Amino acid sequence: MSWTEVAEGVHARRHEELDLTTGLVLGAERCLVVDTRGDVDQGTEWAAAVRELTDLPWTVVYTHAHFDHAFGSTPFLPCDVWAHPGCLTELVEHGDAEKRKWAARYREQGRPDIAGALDRTAVVPPDRLVPEHVELDLGGRTAVLRHPGRGHTGHDLLVHVPDAGVVFAGDLVEHGPHGFTEGSFGPDTHLAHWPAALDALLSLAPQVVVPGHGEPVDAAFVRRHRDGLRTLAGLKAAGATPAGAVSPYPADVTRAALETP
């Protein structure tokens, strides 16, 4: 795990498990924690890391409802927890089932420590909702929570720090070996709309984009993979099969994208 100060008072922390990247935005009066990791033990570790940098009262935001981003919240309570309304629905209706699914998967992988932590984890739904955008006053600094449209999920949120030129993108942007990975695409992905969500991100003119996984990137990286997603969306719309598709991505990534609903 390591901290990167991507701008003054704006930090990203990269975690070994799933190469997850979380965020911290410092104001003069309070701070904003971007995502909480995947279980109660990981959340406890993340909260302690935040306290290494600041003792400011915190607010939490979920970039989306996937377990690795939103299940580590109890160590941060009590505090406001912000998210898109669709994230609330997803966590209330499917959070416990997702917790059981991932606990079983970790046991199958021979990782009972994480499975046990998930068993002890309480899923925390958001209590403050962002249908479109909300500005949070952190004291001398504003953080803007913005729904850019459907993409990785139907309820993604961007966290924009305008004075620093930083956007935390959640899994709308990933920095794997080829940009996206097979796991970037799932049953709640909206492939046809994802490029427009990245257009919305780019309209903020970011100097630094912090992805949901991997090292921070620049706007050129986002533009390149927006164009790649447009290619994948065009292939899917044309009815291309993974075997016959000419794609800018490896076969496993292409297959996962074309198999989205």
Amino acid 31: pLDDT: 98
Written as one letter, the residue type at 239 is G
- Indicate the pLDDT class of residue 105, thresholds 50, 70 and 90: very high
Higher pLDDT, 234 or 177: 234
pLDDT tens digits, 167-180: 999 999 999 888 99
Amino acid 233: pLDDT: 97
Amino acid 176: pLDDT: 86
Q: How far apart are CA 12 and CA 161, in angstroms?
A: 13
- pTM score, whole prediction: 0.97
Q: How far apart are CA 37 and CA 147, in angstroms?
A: 20
Phi, psi of 136 (to 5 degrees): -105, 125
Instruction: Answer yes or no: is pLDDT of 1 > 80.
Output: no
Amino acid 200: pLDDT: 98
Q: Which one-letter DSSP state was computed for residue 135?
A: E
Topology of domain 2-258 in CATH is Metallo-beta-lactamase; Chain A (3.60.15)
Instruction: Answer yes or no: is pLDDT of 235 > 80.
Output: yes
Instruction: Answer yes or no: is pLDDT of 244 > 90.
Output: no
| The two structure tokens encoding residue 120 | 């002890």
- Is the distance from CB of 202 to CB of 226 less than 8 angstroms? yes
Kindly list the distances between the CA atom of residue 93 and the CA atoms of 70, 87, 88, in Å, as whole numbers in the listed order. Answer: 14, 10, 8
Instruction: Answer yes or no: is pLDDT of 150 > 80.
Output: yes
Amino acid 243: pLDDT: 87
The residue-averaged pLDDT of 218-243 equals 96
Amino acid 2: pLDDT: 86
pLDDT tens digits, 210-227: 999 999 999 999 999 999
For the chain, what are the domain ranges? 2-258
Residue 24's H or E segment, with its range, is: strand 21-26
Q: Which one-letter DSSP state was computed for residue 20?
A: B
pLDDT tens digits, 112-146: 999 999 999 999 999 999 999 999 999 999 999 99
Written as one letter, the residue type at 190 is H
Above pLDDT 90, what percent of the chain? 97
